[in-house]
Amino acid sequence: MHHVRVADAEAFLSSADLMKPLGRLLDTTDLAVNYYEVEPDSHLAPFYHAHADQEEVFYVLAGELTFAVGDREGPTEEVVVAADETVRFAPGEFQRGRNDGTETVRVVALGGPKESTDVTRLRDCPDCGSLVEHDLRLSSEQDALLCVCRSCDGLTARIE
């Protein structure tokens, strides 16, 4: 058995205001477990994305997350998930969560299998047009995450 307090877990560099990879501390083998805090006007992830090889479940502890959901062409609807509610995304379903409210959202994300290796990440690129595939890279100083367009290699976001 492993017992972990969220307060004792180290934060991980993420587009969310706070991300703690609890699965690492719990030594999970088949399940990703992450705790997030998302401030107003912030996103859970830097991309509209889909995991081809992983299902995800989000349990909102406090606040409200609005998920843009749809397909590879872009979002087609929005789903609001409030405190004490959950939402599941099957492998291949595109989504991106954001906080449209006025309070900090606290959420636990579960993903299975634990490691997701086949992820399609889409972001707007001002040079290439609307939603195009992106990569997530660590800066050379290892102090920021970089969102880089696969088509033009342009930087579209720096997350510190």
What CA–CA distance (Å, rounded) separates 51 from 140?
26
Domain hosting 28: range is: 6-118
Q: 1 in a domain, yes or no?
A: no
To the nearest 10°, report the CA torsion of 11, 13, 15, 17.
30
For residues 122-146, give the mean pLDDT: 92
Q: 139 in a domain, yes or no?
A: no
Q: 23 in a domain, yes or no?
A: yes
Q: What is the domain count for the chain?
A: 1
Q: 111 in a domain, yes or no?
A: yes
Summarised one tens digit per residue, pLDDT across range 135-156 is: 999 999 989 999 999 999 999 9
Residue 80, domain CATH: 2.60.120.10
For residues 85-98, give the mean pLDDT: 97
What CA–CA distance (Å, rounded) separates 113 from 54?
6
Q: 136 in a domain, yes or no?
A: no
pTM for the structure as a whole = 0.93
